[in-house]
Amino acid sequence: MSTVKTRFPPSPTGHLHLGGARTALFNWLFARHHGGTFLLRFEDTDRERSKQEYVDSIKEALEWLELFWDEGPYFQSKRLDVYAEFARKLLEEGKAYYCECSPEVLEQKRKQALAEGRKPKYDGTCREKGLGPGPGRVLRFRCPEVGTTVVEDLIRGPVAFDHRELDDFVIMRPDGVPTYQFAVVIDDLTMGITHVIRGDDHLSNTPKQILLFEALGAKPPKYAHVPMILGPDGTRLSKRHGAQSILAYRDEGYLPQAMRNYLVRLGWSYGDQEIFSLEEMIEKFDLARISKSPARFDPDKLLALNAHYIRQEDTHRLAELVVPFLAKLGVEIKNPADEKFLKAVESVKPRARTLKEMAEMMRFYFVDEITYEEKAAKKFLKPEIAPVLEEIVKALEGMPAFEEKALEDLFRGLAEKHQLKLKHVAQPVRVALTGRTVSPGLFEIMDILGKETVIKRIKKALAFIKEH
């Protein structure tokens, strides 16, 4: 195999979403697996909708996923002279021609063809007119009228297209801007792309692109069309399935390694293995293992995978990552390497599914005032528990060693004395300390909060009980 070169060519008309990110990942992995090159280029010839903010956002998303490109980014808008040169070559060789049919006339022809039960394709009106350039004229590719083009697809096998189904498609618009079909071929040709891995919605474009390569006397790249991603209900993936842009997942507190792992498994598999490091993905990735069936997006599976990677992550690294999420909740952490902070991170690490969730779980450690969840306060901060809480405060004040084991012994002893189950003593204290009924282990959080804060918060809960 010659040196592999793949590309990811997004249109900067929106943010990078799951489908595009998976395409980028597959191209990146294929290039890395074969020791090749991965190229980034922006298909930005739609001047109305292409925006710099989307260019920046797509690059940021790829960098967050650690899919770094070796070449580019290239921009089609800066290569118009290259397309013009190749268009001129096709025109001079009689492989393209100018067409003066107006959009109104073309629409009329389309409607008539549909009414007569024919395929609504261009009828070749200007094919033999020998027209030159002029206002409103487009350049069309002279498609072979008979024969077949076979796409040797690396995923689904050979797919044949009858030339009678194709038409003389436009390659250059009146303003000198190339159409997608033409620009992509010239880019892939001049940039030396060997493999095109893309969504199967592009399969119908491929015979046209192969014909253009052949007309230019060039060998087309190898094509692999990946089945689309569907929502959990089996329809095309969209926002209503909870799918969002890649950067939105980052901002929700997903880890890049979790997102990569999830994306690679959307339509690709390696036996029963579910968890892959980046090194393993590069080593094992090949096109033969891509499924011919559409993949289904499962947000719960992505969340579970993210929880796995949070549990696996180094605590010091997690501490740094969660700081911005705490800042959004009004908690400023000056030193993420502080021992108390690291203990707090460690306490929620097995329970949090996202960094955002982790920050919410940890917030109670660092605020001056606890707000009780209404249901929790109603259920556990009742007058009958007040005497037990008062006894706990007295016992804590006299404790020489404020440690998890000693705290547990104290609580068990009090529960026994008052003929209560441990949970009936522990839950009111948990609510007093965290405001919630769910938290890390009670004695663990007491140890992290420290004696002074624990006593202060239980006293505040006693005051709350008396007031209510």
238 phi and psi angles, rounded to 5 deg: -150, 180
Please report which confidence band the pLDDT of residue 400 belongs to, taking 50, 70 and 90 as the band edges: confident
Q: What is the pLDDT of residue 433?
A: 97
Catalytic one among 239, 328, 379, 405? 239
Distance, C-alpha 467 to centroid of its chain: 49
- Alpha carbon distances (Å) from 468 to 100, 314, 385, 457: 83, 44, 13, 16
pLDDT reading at 182 higher than 60: yes
Dihedral sign, Cα of residue 45, residue 50, residue 56, residue 62: negative
pLDDT reading at 397 higher than 80: yes
List, in order of start, the domains of the chain with CATH numbers.
5-77+230-299 (3.40.50.620), 79-226 (3.40.50.620), 314-364 (1.10.8.70), 374-467 (1.10.10.350)
Whose tokens are 């605590």? That residue is: 315
Distance, C-alpha 405 to centroid of its chain: 44
Rounded to an integer, the average pLDDT of 385-393 is: 95
Q: What is the pLDDT of residue 344?
A: 97
Please report which confidence band the pLDDT of residue 237 belongs to, taking 50, 70 and 90 as the band edges: confident
Q: What is the CA radius of gyration of the chain?
A: 32
Task: Give me the percent of the chain exceeding a pLDDT of 90.
Answer: 91
Question: Tens of pLDDT along 312-371?
Answer: 999 999 999 999 999 999 999 999 999 999 999 999 999 999 999 999 999 999 999 999
Rounded to an integer, the average pLDDT of 116-133 is: 92
Q: What is the pLDDT of residue 272?
A: 94
Question: Tens of pLDDT along 5-42?
Answer: 999 999 999 999 999 999 999 999 999 999 999 999 99
pLDDT reading at 1 higher than 70: no
Contact 302, 258 (CB under 8 A): yes
Please report which confidence band the pLDDT of residue 448 belongs to, taking 50, 70 and 90 as the band edges: very high
Contact 77, 44 (CB under 8 A): yes
Please report which confidence band the pLDDT of residue 294 belongs to, taking 50, 70 and 90 as the band edges: very high
* 239 counts as catalytic: yes
Contact 349, 310 (CB under 8 A): yes
Task: Give me the percent of the chain exceeding a pLDDT of 70.
Answer: 100
Q: Which amino acid is at 256?
A: P
Beta bridge partners of residue 71, listed in sequence order: 39
Q: What is the pLDDT of residue 171?
A: 98
- Alpha carbon distances (Å) from 364 to 316, 331, 359, 360, 436: 20, 10, 9, 8, 9
Q: Which amino acid is at 199?
A: G
Which residues, 6 or more positions from 272, have their beta carbon under 8 angstroms from its beta carbon? none
Rounded to an integer, the average pLDDT of 410-435 is: 94
Distance, C-alpha 366 to centroid of its chain: 32
Q: What is the pLDDT of residue 113?
A: 87
Rounded to an integer, the average pLDDT of 169-174 is: 97
pLDDT reading at 373 higher than 70: yes
Look up the pTM and report it. Answer: 0.93
What 3-state DSSP class applies to 186?
Answer: helix
Please report which confidence band the pLDDT of residue 393 belongs to, taking 50, 70 and 90 as the band edges: very high
